[in-house]
Chains A and B, each alone.
Chain A
Amino acid sequence: MAKVLMTGNAAIGEAAIRAGCQCYFGYPITPQNELTEYMATHLSRRKGCSFIQAESEIAAINMVYGASLAGARTMTSSSSPGISLKQEGISYLAACELPAVIVNMSRGGPGLGSISAAQSDYFQATRGGGHGDYRTIVLAPSSVQELADFTHYAFDLADKYLIPVIILGDGMLGQMMEPVEFKHEAPQELPVRSRALRGAKGRPSRIIKTFTSKPAELEEINWSLFRRYQLIKKHETTFETFMTDDAKLIVVAFGIAARIAKGAIKTARANGLKVGMLRPITLWPFPSEKVQELAKSVKQYLVFEMNMGQMIEDVQLALGGNGEVSFYGRPGGVIPTPSEVYKVISRLYYQKGLK
């Protein structure tokens, strides 16, 4: 298929429909409204599909829970304050092993914050977010093409591991327009998931729940979830490296910040500085093993995030003291430029005596 020019938000919508998303439930919040509007236009009248503009984020995520119970590929989207409201439902999805895709086009916080792009929801996304011990797979795209590709991938991962998958974008990715190619056609029909609730026809009745008065039963549920999380860590950890082979300093950045950092690293290389980048694509599971591998030859790390330092904790945990970590961050929805990041890189490079 030829490339088309689209906003990131619309690209997610189109990719979701092509991934066989049957039910979308949303609630207006900037900067992700184009996605909800895209689904209203393109999904709501599609055969066998459903779109609801819900009365709240809480209702929307619980509709997702219901649609997932019934075996549908289902999705909701929002931005930071709305994602906070959805945490109740995400915890239930995780507990009951129900697949769903949740898009967070994150914005500045805390509180009502700003509508500008930020990365301050890293902790919330990668630590479960709601109550109880659980994880969600978290994908961090950095282009409109990746928004489309990862949306399709997210539905597959959710179904494969029976887990909610978070696409952690930001206001900038959602709003910007780029050429995008859709690699899949919408399926005519999807198989019904084996544990779906569709009435006890030709089989015993089925219960989907976690509540129990026996703590040992719940402990077993937690163990079972974490056995699956180990499997996900082993098989689904993804990352991108950029010019790391001879690097003396590695920038670690995700999402749109990685894209900004890439520009800065190109300038650094042009000026003879040996700088590379590690970009985690799955924020959970975090590519700790890759960090440890890099640490065998590289001792200096610069973590760059559009927040006050959240992913840095995962980098430090992975290094275990086996490298020196510096941080540069801009919180509140401020978007730094590549030349600003280049200045930070070159200053650090000289300060650490790498030249």
Chain B
Amino acid sequence: MDKVYTRPKSLKKAVFHYCPGCGHSVVHRLICEVIDEMNLQEQVIGIPPPGCSVFAYHYFDVDMAESAHGRGAAVATGIKRAYPEAIVFTYQGDGDLAAIGTAETIHAANRGERITAIFINNAVYGMTGGQMAPTTLLEQKTTTTPYGRDIKLEGYPIKISEMLALTKGAVYIERTAANSPANIRKTKKAIRKAFQTQIDDLGFSLVEILSPCPTNWRMTPIEAWQWIDKVMTKEYPLGVIKDITGKQDAD
């Protein structure tokens, strides 16, 4: 009998600590599938962030190192510059990449660093207990916006991927979601393309993944999946935001 579905080689045999319905475990698996299919396990160095996915190194069977909050793009830059043969990716949440690490992210993108960012947007700070993130939607209730996010007081949800697309060094940016079999397949394709962009030495690549956080959204996993479609994608439309991989040589 043919085996059609198996644990990726680069995914360790460990039980995920993530909550039921969380998007992290799905995205971890997708990245590992891509690493296997592209035969990159011996080349990849991953930089997970502080946050729920700080323990990503317990799941990925590749070289990994912890990063200070928000500094993933700078750490990845240092690794890639010191050892360009590596395929370096950061795994970052919305608070990490779009709040405390905004400067590091924008400048790494603008320099066209040959690194790949996997950006998990779940519109809250997860591990710390569901506080407002820069990506929290208007009127969304969090522990630090108990009355709902009010533009007059808390400002607007930030569209960091669209901002990054304005930098010349960013060559591939796509927004996907981890909330349905179809979207999960598209996410995997985007991750593959992002890694390929790095392998082809073209510049900075990023995949933003709208990811469910049922615990902090106070929803069931199914409600969380539906909320991404009905509410989140209205603010953060899915699709390719920038792709100049076929149109130019490296800057």
Q: Which chain A residues have a beta carbon within 8 Å of chain B's beta carbons?
A: 22-23, 25, 50, 52, 54-56, 58-60, 62-72, 74, 88-89, 92, 96, 196-202, 205-211
B63 touching A63, Cβ below 8 Å:
no
Interface segment among B74-82, B150-158, B186-194, B204-212: the answer is B74-82
- In the complex, what's the smallest C-beta–C-beta distance from A75 to chain B, in angstroms? 12
B41 touching A200, Cβ below 8 Å:
yes
Which of B60, B66, B67 has its CB near the most chain A CB atoms (within 10 A)? B66
- In the complex, what's the smallest C-beta–C-beta distance from A177 to chain B, in angstroms? 31
Kindly list chain B residues whose C-beta atoms are within 8 Å of the C-beta of A70. Answer: 45, 78-79, 82-83, 86
Kindly list chain B residues whose C-beta atoms are within 8 Å of the C-beta of A209. Answer: 57, 64-66
B window 28-78: CB within 8 A of A: 41-45, 47, 50, 54, 57, 60-68, 71, 74-78
A200 touching B61, Cβ below 8 Å:
yes
Q: Which of under 10, 10 to 19, 20 to 34, or 35 or more describes the interface residues of B? A: 35 or more
Q: Name 14 A/B residue pairs within 8 A (Cβ), A-sorted.
A: A50-B82, A52-B77, A54-B107, A55-B104, A58-B71, A62-B74, A67-B81, A70-B45, A70-B79, A197-B45, A197-B64, A199-B87, A207-B63, A210-B66
Q: A62-B71, A70-B78 are in contact. List 14 more A-B contacts (CB 8 A).
A: A54-B74, A59-B103, A59-B107, A62-B78, A66-B74, A66-B81, A67-B78, A67-B81, A197-B45, A200-B61, A200-B63, A205-B61, A205-B63, A210-B66
B66 touching A66, Cβ below 8 Å:
no
Which of A55, A71, A72, A205 has its CB near the most chain B CB atoms (within 10 A)? A205
A88 touching B68, Cβ below 8 Å:
yes
Kindly list chain A residues whose C-beta atoms are within 8 Å of the C-beta of B82. Answer: 22-23, 50, 66-72, 74
Supposing A50-B82, A70-B79, A72-B82 touch, asked if A62 and B63 sit within 8 A by C-beta, the answer is no
- In the complex, what's the smallest C-beta–C-beta distance from B62 to chain A, in angstroms? 5
A205 touching B62, Cβ below 8 Å:
yes
Report Cα–Cα, A106/B10, bound state, in Å. 47
Report Cα–Cα, A157/B147, bound state, in Å. 55
A23 touching B78, Cβ below 8 Å:
yes
B68 touching A69, Cβ below 8 Å:
no
A23, A54, A66, A206: the one within 8 Å of B75 (CB):
A66
A23, A52, A207: the one within 8 Å of B65 (CB):
A207
B62, B75, B80: the one within 8 Å of A65 (CB):
B75
Supposing A88-B68, A198-B83, A211-B50 touch, asked if A69 and B78 sit within 8 A by C-beta, the answer is yes
A66 touching B77, Cβ below 8 Å:
yes
B83 touching A207, Cβ below 8 Å:
no
